[in-house]
Amino acid sequence: MKIAVFPVIAFSFFLLSCGNQEGTRPQAKTLSDSLLQDVLHGHDIGMAKMRKLTQLEQQTQRLVDSIGKLPAKARQASAPYLQKLDSLSKELQYAEFAMNKWMEEFKVDSANDDTEKRVKYLGEEKEKVTKVKDAILSVLQKADSLLK
């Protein structure tokens, strides 16, 4: 299932970039085209941050592991920070999960033959991908402040 989604999204990016002289997306001709561009833009923003998300997950886990190796008194003193790290780790994992789940479920060619259904579907997908993108950006901001 995952394998089929990625080529479709990649192909969509290819199609959107064809004939695009200025490096921007082509102008939308219909509401569904506009919504699709918005959905893909939200996806692009989130995906651009996935590597950073993974790196921060690893960094957070290293810190948790390091705190676990401290003497008992130091571990106890670090308990509030450890709790924040645990919370951050869960949020980082959720943001990654949410993007992967959205990509698996997104059907770029859904309801191509019914404009009304397509507009409705893409509107819903725009909302979903916006929430995913916002979750990613929010947790990255939280991680940057906590891990500095």
The model's pLDDT over 88-142, given as tens digits with 9 standing for 90+, comes to 999 999 999 999 999 999 998 888 888 899 999 999 999 999 999 999 999 999 9
Alpha-carbon distance of 10 to 40, in angstroms, equals 10
Selection from 38, 46, 37 nearest residue 99 by Cα: 46
Alpha-carbon distance of 81 to 67, in angstroms, equals 9
Q: What is the pLDDT of residue 14?
A: 46
Enumerate residues 6+ apart whose C-beta is below 8 A from 54: 96
Does pTM surpass 0.85? no
Alpha-carbon distance of 139 to 123, in angstroms, equals 24
Q: How confident is the model at residue 26 (pLDDT cuts 50, 70, 90)?
A: low
Q: What is the pLDDT of residue 15?
A: 46
Cα distance between the two ends of the chain? 39
Go through the chain and tell me how many residues it has.
Answer: 148
Q: What is the pLDDT of residue 121?
A: 94
Answer for the pair 54, 136: CB distance below 8 angstroms, yes or no.
no
Residue pLDDT, tens place only, 28-49: 688 889 999 999 999 999 999 9
Q: What is the pLDDT of residue 24?
A: 54
